[in-house]
Structure formats: structure tokens, C-alpha cells
């Protein structure tokens, strides 16, 4: 199943410097889904070390922490009711696919409700934020380039619904 365990203090930030320690593995593997929205031995981590700009977000790195050579990483994020990600922008693109519950996404100055398997492309340098104003967990895949810039957090402002 690959050595996809990461210490939470090693990669607490969504962005990782190139010096981040990686397993040398690059092997094919199957990561089994479990009903509690975890996968195989992949650890659920905290979203970011800095706690000012976000609330109630976790992250599971499915592809990208086990030495995979692919040019992209696949992560599962989950936002609890009333939680929100950072209001941020960056040069790298995001692809988001909702797989649990529903949530809202701010893209630029517009906010959209998103539900099951809705797929979102966020182009470079667009301010965005994901929020969960609903009563169930809001879970989504987020795919990013393996080489990417560090997000810029716009403010501590919370985009409430």
C-alpha cells in the first residue's frame, strides 16, 4: 500500500517546500476506500499549521506523498459544518470534485453551491475559498500540480454564507 504515512508536523501546510522529505517509492498500488471517508493507511492530517485563516478542515493525501512520479497530487479535504478553508490565491490551478455532502465555493467575487460530483476548475491567481454552511461534512477531492507555488492568504476574513 506504499509508505503514505506522513507526520502531521512534517506537512501541516497545504504547500510544502521542495526540501520536504519523501518516500522513495513509486509503485503501483490500490488505496481502498472506507465508509468513514478514509483510504487505506492514509492518515487524516490537519490542513495547515497556521490556524488563523481557516477552521475545521482536514486533509488526506492519497497521491503525492509516496514518491509518485506523476505531475499532480490528489488530496481529499473535508470541511465540517461551519468550517471554511483559507481565502487565498496562487499561481497553480485547482480542480475540485465534491464527493461528500455539499458546500459553497467562492471564485473571484461569485459564490456557488456545489454538490455531488460537481467538478470545479480554478484558474491561476483567482481568489477562492471553500465553506460548509450545511449540517453534514463537506468532502472533496482536490487535484493540484506536484510543483506549485505557496498560496497567498488574502486576509483573516471569513466568507460566511
Residues numbered 97-116 forming contacts with a second copy, rule: CB under 8 A: 97, 99, 105, 107-108, 112, 114-116
Q: Shortest approach of a second copy to residue 97 CB, angstroms?
A: 7
Q: What single DSSP character describes residue 63?
A: E
Q: Does 81 bind a second copy (CB under 8 A)?
A: no
| Cβ partners under 8 Å of residue 160, min gap 6 | 84, 131, 133
Indicate the residue among 88 and 118 with the shorter CB distance to a second copy: 118
Contact (CB, 8 A) for 127 and 68: no
CA-wise closest residue to 126 among 102, 95, 157? 95
Q: Shortest approach of a second copy to residue 18 CB, angstroms?
A: 16
142 is catalytic: yes
Q: Shortest approach of a second copy to residue 51 CB, angstroms?
A: 27
> In this structure, are strands 38-39 and 33-34 parallel, antiparallel, or unpaired?
antiparallel
Q: Which of 8, 10, 41, 123 binds a second copy (CB under 8 A)?
A: 123
Which residues participate in catalysis according to the annotation? Answer: 142
Amino acid at each position: 500500500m506504499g509508505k503514505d504515512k506522513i507526520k502531521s508536523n512534517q506537512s501541516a501546510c497545504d504547500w510544502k517546500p521542495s526540501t520536504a522529505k519523501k518516500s522513495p517509492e513509486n509503485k503501483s498500488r490500490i488505496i481502498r476506500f472506507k465508509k468513514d471517508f478514509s483510504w487505506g493507511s492514509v492518515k487524516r492530517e490537519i490542513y495547515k499549521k497556521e490556524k488563523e485563516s481557516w477552521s475545521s478542515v482536514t486533509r488526506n493525501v492519497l497521491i503525492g506523498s509516496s514518491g509518485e512520479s506523476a505531475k499532480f497530487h490528489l488530496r481529499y479535504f473535508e470541511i465540517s459544518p461551519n468550517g471554511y478553508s483559507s481565502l487565498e490565491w496562487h499561481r497553480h490551478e485547482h480542480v475540485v470534485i465534491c464527493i461528500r455532502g455539499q458546500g459553497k465555493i467562492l471564485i473571484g467575487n461569485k459564490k456557488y453551491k456545489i454538490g455531488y460530483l460537481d467538478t470545479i476548475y480554478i484558474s491561476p491567481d483567482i481568489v477562492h475559498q471553500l465553506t460548509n454552511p450545511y449540517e453534514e461534512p463537506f468532502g472533496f477531492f482536490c487535484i493540484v500540480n506536484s510543483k506549485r507555488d505557496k498560496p497567498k492568504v488574502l486576509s483573516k476574513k471569513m466568507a460566511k454564507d
